[in-house]
Amino acid sequence: MNYTSLGRTGLQVSRLCLGTMNFGPYTSEPDSFAIMDQALELGINFFDTANVYGRKLGEGITEQIIGRWFAQGGGRREKVVLATKVYGKMGEWPNESKLSAYHIKRACEESLRRLQTDHIDLYQMHHIDRSTPWEEVWQAMEQLVREGKVIYVGSSNFAGWHIAQAQGLAAARHFMGLVSEQSLYNLSARMIELEVIPACQAFGLGLIPWSPLGGGLLAGALQKVQEGRRTEEWVQKRIDDARPQLERYEQFCAERGDHPADLALAWLLHQPAVTAPIIGPRTMEQLTGSLRALEIKLSEDDLKALDAIWPGPGGPAPEAYAW
């Protein structure tokens, strides 16, 4: 396994991040335990989850599964850089969502209880909260850091200007602020190249792409149209809409002898701002297969060919849309 710094920090994380959103809804607890054990065996030390994962309002099923896995001991907690999130709706009452200081404190305490740990290594804001001032957000995060309950703070689904605003106000408070941003990013979804990636690079944030395979679109969709979720109507529409690009992409992969999913991950690993794409395996086979991406080398010609198939927005702003 290869490791890199998380943004401008000294924290070393694996180049692949284990996403756990499937644990509970799609992957049983015993299978989830086996996948996490195997991830450690493979050297993956970066695990990502969220308090809302698990598909049952307010229960944090996925965090509970991870907590019971940690409780087995054997150095499991000590080996993992643990990331979870706050923002999502955790109940029907007021103040059970978003980023008020009230909710941040309560959500953190509840995540710690479910995860059976005394601290969260990376506490990520799952979305921007336009109704809460940054002074309030940072005051709450600073308190959690002082108490040792949180070590680093990250964002998810932020715009570039949100990152700049957050960092400016954090600096004024002499607080480290954000160290990472988790964004939708893959060959078929490159909008963040306009503003978010330049902001991450300017402020020293690690970029953690979610949905690196485009919801399965980049995982050999044309060969698997009769299998699993790809038979659902909305997935079929996405495949039909992107069919010309998918045909070129899957042909490119076949000529190289690479599986489309592995090549999609490898492309992300070749992007200079990327720390670790989030892989979300439902099975052990999907976990171990993801490691092949670490071995794929893409030349400049390969990257240009992929740009021709899946063009981005034209690079960073403003040059992408102005002179």
Catalytic residue numbers?
Answer: 53
Cα atoms found within 13 Å of the Cα of residue 158, Cβ hemisphere only: 30
| DSSP per-residue letters across 297-309 | ---HHHHHHHHHH
Closest C-alpha to 157, from 102, 61, 86, 103: 86
Query: Which among 182, 212, 175 is positioned nearest to 293, based on CA atoms?
Result: 212
Helices H / strands E in the chain, number of each: 12, 10
Count the residues in the chain: 323
Residue among 57, 90, 68 nearest 20 (CA): 68
Q: Is the peptide bond before 318 cis (omega within 30 degrees of 0)?
A: yes
Burial-class residue 284 by CB neighbours within 10 Å (0-12, 13-18, 19+). Answer: middle
- Beta bridge partners of residue 123, listed in sequence order: 84, 153
List the Cα angle 141/182/67 in 5-degree steps.
65
